[in-house]
Amino acid sequence: MKVLKTFPDKCITCHNCESACSKLYFKEDNAEKSCIVINEEVYPPEMIVCNQCGNCIDICPTLALTINTQGVVMLNKSLCIGCLMCVAACPNNAMRFAKGVYNPFKCIACGSCPKTCPAEAIELVTA
């Protein structure tokens, strides 16, 4: 399974990862629309990413969430009704939603954020 491994002690809170994610996912630089969240209110910074646990799959009433062949939880937007039950069920707060976005969203382990991290605080690994 592909997951992001984080190293909070290395994070320099530049937010390049959030920017890269929102640009790829939503075509705009907006931290509110990033699948990764860097929480600077604690030290070391909390790096919130999906660990692909699947809790969201179990709660989804429309079966819009599934696991792909690489072990990544994926959302089928055409089946999603925007109820946000998956957001409530996520133990890591990694299932996200944003104003003006109908469907929730989450990390799909695409690998864009590690490429932009100057501190090497994020790594895409196969677990």
β 65-67/2-6 pair status: unpaired
pLDDT tens digits, 66-108: 999 999 999 999 999 999 999 999 999 999 999 999 999 999 9
Residue 39 lies in a domain: yes
Q: Report whether pLDDT(127) > 90.
A: no
Residue 126 lies in a domain: no
pLDDT tens digits, 47-73: 999 999 999 999 999 999 999 999 999
60 in Cβ contact with 21 (< 8 Å) = no
Average of per-residue pLDDT across 4-19: 98
Residue 124 lies in a domain: no
User: What proportion of the chain, given as a percentage, has pLDDT over 90?
Assistant: 98
Q: Reduce the DSSP state of residue 94 to 3 states and report it.
A: coil
- CATH (domain of 40): 3.30.70.20
Residue 50 lies in a domain: yes
Could you give the angle at the alpha carbon of 60 between the alpha carbons of 31 and 78, nearest 5°?
A: 70
Q: Report whether pLDDT(45) > 90.
A: yes
Residue 125 lies in a domain: no
Average of per-residue pLDDT across 34-44: 96
State phi, psi for 88 to the nearest 5 degrees. Answer: -65, -30
Residue 96 lies in a domain: yes
How far, in Å, CA of 79 to CA of 25, rounded?
19
* Domain encompassing residue 57: 2-118
The tally of domains found in the chain comes to 1
How far, in Å, CA of 14 to CA of 107, rounded?
19
Write down the pLDDT at residue 93.
96
- Residue 8 identity (one-letter amino acid): P
- DSSP-derived letter for residue 24 is H
Residue 55 lies in a domain: yes
